[in-house]
């Protein structure tokens, strides 16, 4: 426990000193507030831009609050996840490459505590960012379009935080398994390409980890079967645990890659 505490504080201080605790939540806040503001003022923006053909008319759809939260989730799933992966893909591999891990590995350090500390710090900052992003999105959505049921909103938020725990577990595990460039490529394939494939062919299956964020949004409109939702949650929890075990095993195996 003392090892975990010391390693956790080390990782936390590193994230604070590199301003990850500041700029990553800011990115999510900007992503969260962009859709409700842009959609609300789109007609005024088009009029201000001008250069429209004479007689041109554009009818914008009437958005519901859930539609704006769905749009914000789409921003988090594309840009936000790439930001998180880029920020934490090197937590293991960079330490091995530049030799700073030598100071840690020469001591009798628990690899479980090492992986857990890196994963927990990355997950905490990811969840803080998601909460900040959804708070910004919900504020402007409630201000401009109306509110949603708050219990359903918190259920959606909790679901997305669970998804982020899985994403960061995969990210840190790939960093433990490969060097930085390969780890980034593999993680993007697993997460981002997986989301893209699911968006194209996801109609053929209903239970898959890449649907979890969408099922969280569907809770707002009661448009998801609870059995399907809970099966997806269980699958994500299982894959998160598997990723953690893989990360611990690979961090121990790749200790020999250290530069002395």
In tens, the pLDDT along 58-76 reads: 666 778 888 899 999 999 9
Q: pLDDT digits over 26-50, tens only?
A: 999 999 999 898 888 777 766 666 6
Half-sphere exposure of 244 (CA within 13 A, CB side): 17
| List of E strands, the chain | none
Res 69: pLDDT? 92
- pLDDT bin (cut points 50, 70, 90) of residue 184 is confident
Crossing angle (nearest 10°) for helices 226-253 and 212-221 = 150
Cα atoms found within 13 Å of the Cα of residue 4, Cβ hemisphere only: 9
**Which DSSP helix (H) or strand (E) runs through 17?**
helix 2-17
Tokens 């958005």 appear where?
A: 63
Q: Which of 161, 153, 135, 165 is closest to 218 using CA atoms?
A: 153
By CB neighbour count within 10 A (0-12 exposed, 13-18 middle, 19+ buried), where does 226 fall? exposed
CA distances from 238 to 35, 64, 168 (A): 33, 34, 14
**Residue 24 and residue 83: Cα distance in Å, rounded?**
7
Nearest to 78 by CA among 178, 216, 199: 199
**Predicted local distance difference test score (pLDDT) of residue 253:** 76
Backbone dihedral region of 52: left (phi > 0), alpha (psi from -120 to 50 degrees) or beta? beta
State how far the Cα of 212 lies from the Cα of 202, in Å rounded to an integer. 12
Q: Give me the chain's average pLDDT, please.
A: 85
Residue 56: the pLDDT is: 58
The predicted pLDDT at position 162 comes to 96
The pLDDT score that the predictor gives to residue 131 is 96
pLDDT for the residue 252: 79
CB of 12 closer than 8 Å to CB of 121: yes
219, 238, 220: which is closest to 228 by C-alpha? Answer: 219
Block residue for tokens 């990723």: 243
């Amino acid at each position: 426990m003392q090892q975990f505490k010391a390693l956790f504080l080390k990782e936390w201080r590193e994230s604070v000193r590199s301003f990850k605790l500041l700029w990553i939540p800011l990115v999510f806040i900007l992503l969260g507030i962009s859709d409700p503001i842009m959609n609300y003022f789109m007609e005024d923006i088009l009029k201000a831009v001008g250069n429209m053909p004479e007689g041109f008319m554009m009818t914008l759809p009437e958005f519901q609050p859930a539609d704006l939260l769905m749009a914000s989730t789409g921003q988090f799933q594309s840009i936000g996840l790439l930001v998180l992966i880029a920020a934490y893909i090197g937590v293991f591999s960079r330490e091995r490459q530049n030799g700073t891990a030598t100071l840690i590995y020469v001591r009798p350090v628990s690899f479980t505590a090492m992986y857990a500390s890196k994963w927990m710090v990355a997950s905490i900052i990811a969840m803080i960012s998601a909460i900040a992003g959804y708070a910004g999105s919900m504020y402007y959505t409630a201000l401009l379009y109306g509110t949603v049921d708050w219990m359903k909103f918190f259920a959606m938020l909790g679901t997305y935080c669970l998804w982020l725990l899985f994403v960061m577990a995969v990210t840190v595990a790939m960093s433990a398994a490969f060097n930085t460039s390969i780890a980034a490529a593999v993680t993007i394939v697993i997460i981002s390409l997986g989301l893209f494939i699911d968006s194209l062919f996801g109609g053929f299956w209903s239970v898959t980890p890449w649907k979890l964020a969408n099922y969280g949004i569907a809770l707002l409109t009661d448009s998801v079967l609870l059995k399907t939702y809970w099966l997806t949650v269980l699958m994500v929890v299982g894959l998160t645990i598997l990723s953690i075990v893989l990360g611990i095993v690979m961090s121990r195996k790749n200790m020999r890659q250290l530069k002395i």
